[in-house]
Amino acid sequence: MSTLQEHLDAFDALRDDSAASYRWQATHRGGDHAFHVVVSCLVHGNEVGSLPGINRVLTALRSGELSYGGTFTVVIANPEAGLADRRFLEQDLNRMFGNLDGDAHECRRAAELAPILATAEVYLDLHQTILATEEPFTIFPWHADCWKWARVLNAASACVTRPANQGFALGGQICADEYVRDLGKPGFTLELSQKGFSQEAEDLAFKAVCNLLAAADRIARGTTTLDDEAGQCPELVFWQTDHRESFVDPAMCLRDGLVNFTPVQAGEVLSAPGTPVFTAPLTGRLLFPKYPERDASGAAIAPIPSEISRVITQVPEHPETAWV
């Protein structure tokens, strides 16, 4: 399998955009309409799996195998962290879009990316999970247009959502997709698979972006509407966080083998033998289980995450009617 450097070199050869404001930006201009689709990858540097799929999209656009009449921009957001095999170098880039004046590498990068994101009609941010996931999923606070575009991708049936007024990060820490939503445009995240290169991640990224471009083209040409496009794709299955298990004691430890979307039953023990006992308070799936590094005594090493895992459950009613 190729290395990240080889995929970055391939991107460089495809980007053909000397006028770009940002070093790791590729822009396709179809010339027929102004609808601007923006896709990002490597916002978390070591979530590299989408890049080969992105290069396939750019190759297909160049050869004419794929067409798009509007403007399509791809950015590789944090290749420096990717090459260091890290999530970020100084600060989490996906929290820096409210901090565009800072000096950290990721603050400066957010300031470079923000003007590009600000011109998106729709924005898709391609991520991967730290641990494995039983299935890919989209994630965004409830937003009707994000729901419709997430359906249009036809790449993940699971959607992790929450009522629109519940923030994800702390105050002032703005995610890339949140930055776009705050400007009144749909922006959302697709979690493809566990971080790293895989055929699964490449194929899913390629499929999602191809479907996004095809639908955006038809909508911009006026031959269809977003409602019609979404209605032709399968409905999503909506999940919401029902329980957050706080990481109150460094000795807390999940039992082995838990990943994203692992089914759990109410009362099931989630802790490892010989560590403080905690159970799933309700039946659902696990999300973002964490296995931090530990010292010789078994205590998690700082910085300890605020949560050791979440339990998500299916939203009982369609969010479009329940939350609006």
Tell me which residues touch Zn ion (CB under 5 A): 44, 47, 127
Question: Cβ 195 to Zn ion, closest distance in Å?
Answer: 8
- Nearest distance from residue 190's CB to Zn ion, in Å? 10
Least Cα distance to 242 among 271, 270, 284, 189 occurs for 284
CB of 92 to Zn ion, least distance (A): 9
CB burial readout 67-77, b (16+ within 10 A) else e: ebbbbbbbbbb
- Provide, rounded to whole angstroms, the least separation between the CB of residue 87 and Zn ion: 7
Residues 6+ apart with CB under 8 A from 203: 53
Specify whether the CB–CB gap between 106 and 89 falls below 8 A: yes
C-beta of 40 vs 55, nearer to Zn ion: 40
CB of 44 to Zn ion, least distance (A): 4
User: Which of residues 35 and 140 has its CB atom nearest to Zn ion in the complex?
Assistant: 140
User: Which residue number, 88 or 278, has a Cβ lying nearer to Zn ion?
Assistant: 88
Give whole-number Cα distances, 290 to 5, 130, 181, in Å.
29, 9, 28
Residues β-bridged to residue 309? 245
> What is the DSSP secondary-structure string of 235-296?
PPEEEEEEEEEE--STT--BPTT--BT-EE-TT-B-BPTTS---B-SSSEEEES-----B-T
In whole angstroms, the minimum distance from the beta carbon of 251 to Zn ion comes to 28
Question: Would you say 126 or 312 has its CB closer to Zn ion?
Answer: 126
Give me the sign of the Cα torsion angle 15, 21, 24, 27: negative
Strand order in the sheet with 187-194: 25-29, 71-76, 36-41, 122-129, 187-194, 137-139, 158-160, 237-246, 307-314, 284-287, 263-264
Give me the least distance between CB of 13 and Zn ion, in Å please: 26
The terminus-to-terminus CA distance of the chain in angstroms comes to 46
Q: Which is nearer to Zn ion, 80 or 121 (CB)?
A: 80
Here the tokens at position 171 are 């105050």
Nearer to Zn ion, 104 or 299 (CB): 104
The helix (run of H) or strand (run of E) holding residue 287 is strand 284-287
Q: What is d(CA 61, CA 29) in angstroms, rounded to the nearest whole number? A: 10
Q: Which is nearer to Zn ion, 128 or 154 (CB)?
A: 128
Which CB, 47 or 177, lies closer to Zn ion? Answer: 47
Closest CB 289 distance from Zn ion, rounded Å: 15
